[in-house]
Amino acid sequence: MPHTWNPEQYLRYGDERARPFLDLTSRIGAESPRRVIDLGAGPGTLSRLLAERWPDAEVLAVDSSPEMIARASALQGITAVHGDLRTWTPPGEVDVLVSNAALQWVPGHLELLPRLIEMLAPGGWFAMQVPGNFEEPSHALRRELAAEEPYAPHLRGISSPASYDAATYLRVLQGAGLEVDAWETTYLHVLDGPDPVFEWVAGTGARPTLQALPGALRDRFEEEFRALLRAAYPDRGHGVLLPFRRVFAVARRPWGARSAAQR
């Protein structure tokens, strides 16, 4: 079931969402890449950081959301491109390919990784990050509530994010002939404001669920979901603590390997 994205809602916690991207890209050792791709770039604010790091590179921010691409198009230093990461093809060899918090939306994305790797030039870098918190209350409570009446009939077949552990990504990337560094980190975000965990998930994982419900039912679901999240993530006087596990992998194609464009 298709859904749309809201850049403003997504960027409400922009600083917290940027931390994994910065940790991921700090492990990329490319010095003077010619072409840098941010696949699943969202509003392009983080793609802009890639352009600042490599000002001589062509930086393409690719996303399937028209709303996100419209926002990214207003930024200098990057080229915003509308495209589905499952099928999009770059205009040539890629020196750095980044996919940050996007692959979890692609069912069976392990099978997609070899295609992405084929885009790399010899010596090229691939860096990915996905959330690994889908068993936490922020997701589990939504799934449980969505399975109840009267919501369940409206929520069959909605998009649902999923990911694997770091060791699984490491093995797949090694099997494709890359040199791999993979790890996991749990961030402890301290959030302020009314119902901050709801506001966080409303911009990402809960968005397809909320959009699939008709107006009055959506309001009822939101009210119940907010209450469940408040109970699961209480404010104990210093803000609301949201533990958030992230899974990372940074890999490099050996110099001797040939890309698909060279064959």
Mean pLDDT, residues 46-56 taken together: 96
**Domain boundaries defined on the chain:** 7-255
pLDDT tens by residue, 176-213? 999 999 999 999 999 998 999 999 998 887 888 998 99
Length of the chain: 263
pLDDT at 48 over 70: yes
Which residue is it, tokens 């770039």?
A: 41
Distance CA 223, CA 23 (A): 35
pLDDT tens by residue, 213-245? 998 999 999 999 999 999 999 999 999 999 999
Q: Calculate what percentage of the chain has a pLDDT beyond 70.
A: 92
pLDDT tens by residue, 72-121? 999 999 999 999 999 999 999 999 999 999 999 999 999 999 999 999 99
Contact criterion met (CB below 8 Å) for 88 and 60: no
What pLDDT is attached to residue 205? 76
Contact criterion met (CB below 8 Å) for 242 and 17: no
pLDDT at 259 over 60: no
Q: What is the pLDDT of the chain when averaged over all its residues?
A: 91
Classify residue 105 by its DSSP letter.
G
For domain 7-255, the CATH superfamily is Vaccinia Virus protein VP39 (3.40.50.150)
Any idea of the CA torsion for 69, 204, 248, 179, to the nearest 10 degrees? Answer: -40
pLDDT at 9 over 70: no
pLDDT tens by residue, 21-37? 999 999 999 999 999 99
pTM of the shown model: 0.90
What pLDDT is attached to residue 3? 53
pLDDT tens by residue, 160-171? 889 999 999 999
What pLDDT is attached to residue 261? 47
Question: Nearest 5°: CA angle at 22, between 138 and 67?
Answer: 65
What pLDDT is attached to residue 175? 96
Could you check whether the bond before residue 150 is cis, i.e. omega within 30 degrees of 0? yes
3-state percent helix, strand, coil for the chain, nearest multiple of 5: 40, 25, 35
Residue 203, φ and ψ in degrees, nearest 5: -90, -5
Distance CA 20, CA 34 (A): 24
Phi-psi bin for 260: left (phi > 0), alpha (psi -120 to 50), beta?
alpha
pLDDT at 12 over 70: no
